Amino acid sequence: RYRVAIPLNDCGQRIGADNRLRLALSSAYWPIVWPSPEQVTLTVATGASHLDLPVRPECPEDAGLRPFEPAENAPALRKTSLRQGTSAFTVTRDLKSGDVEMYRLQDDGLTQVDAFNWTYGARAERIYRINPKDPLSATAEMSWRKEYRRGNFHIAIETHTAMSVTRTELVLTGKLVAREGDNVPFSREWSYRIPRDHL
C-alpha cells in the first residue's frame, strides 16, 4: 500500500455551491503516459482518500476591481497560402490481434508573409501503437518537417524519433536531417537505452 499526493491541473474558475466534480482515476493514460511494464491492478482506499480544493477568501478590494478591457492586438500580417494545410486523426483496431493504432497528421501547409517575401511551413505525423493486453508492445513514432524560403534561400529540417520499451528500459532512436536546397549539410542519427525508474 502506498500513500500518494497527486496535484491536478489548475481549474481557474469559480465552482458554485451544489455543483459536482467528477474525479476519474486510472492506471494508464496512453499515449500521454507510458504504460507500466506489466498489467496493473489499482485499488483505491476511498475511506482514506480525499480531494482538496483551494478556496479563495473574499477580499473587500474585490468590489473596486474593474472589468478587463478588450485585448489589444497589432494588425494581422498579410499572408498568402501557397499550399493548403490539412489534418487527420484516426484510430484503428485489429479485431483479431487487438492491436490499436492512433495516427495524427497536422500539416500547416505553406504560407508566405507578403511584406517580407518569407515563406514557412510545417508538417507533423505521429503514430502510436499498442496492444492493450501487452504493455511492452507500446511504440511511438514522430516525424516533423519544417521549412523556410525566401528567393533562392530554401532550408528544411526533418526529424524522425521512435520509442519502444522493454521490461527494464526505454529505447529511443532519432534522426535529424538539415537541408539547404538540394544539399544536406548536416545529418545525425542516435539511439539511447534509458533504465525504467518507476515507469
Predicted local distance difference test score (pLDDT) of residue 42: 83
27 belongs to a structural domain: no
114 belongs to a structural domain: yes
Cα four-point dihedral sign 23, 26, 31, 33: positive
56 belongs to a structural domain: no
92 belongs to a structural domain: yes
Predicted local distance difference test score (pLDDT) of residue 93: 98
Predicted local distance difference test score (pLDDT) of residue 5: 82
Give the number of domains in the chain.
Answer: 1
3 belongs to a structural domain: no
Domain that holds residue 155: 79-195
List of the chain residues with pLDDT < 50: none
23 belongs to a structural domain: no
Predicted local distance difference test score (pLDDT) of residue 150: 97
Dmax over CA atoms of the chain, in Å, equals 69
46 belongs to a structural domain: no
Predicted local distance difference test score (pLDDT) of residue 160: 99
Taking the C-alpha atoms of residue 174 and residue 192, their distance in angstroms, rounded to an integer, is 9
Contact between 85 and 108 (Cβ < 8 Å): yes
11 belongs to a structural domain: no
Letter string b/e over residues 59-77, b meaning 16 or more CB atoms within 10 A of that residue's CB: eeeeeeeeeeeeeeeeeee
CA distances from 114 to 44, 81, 82 (A): 58, 10, 11
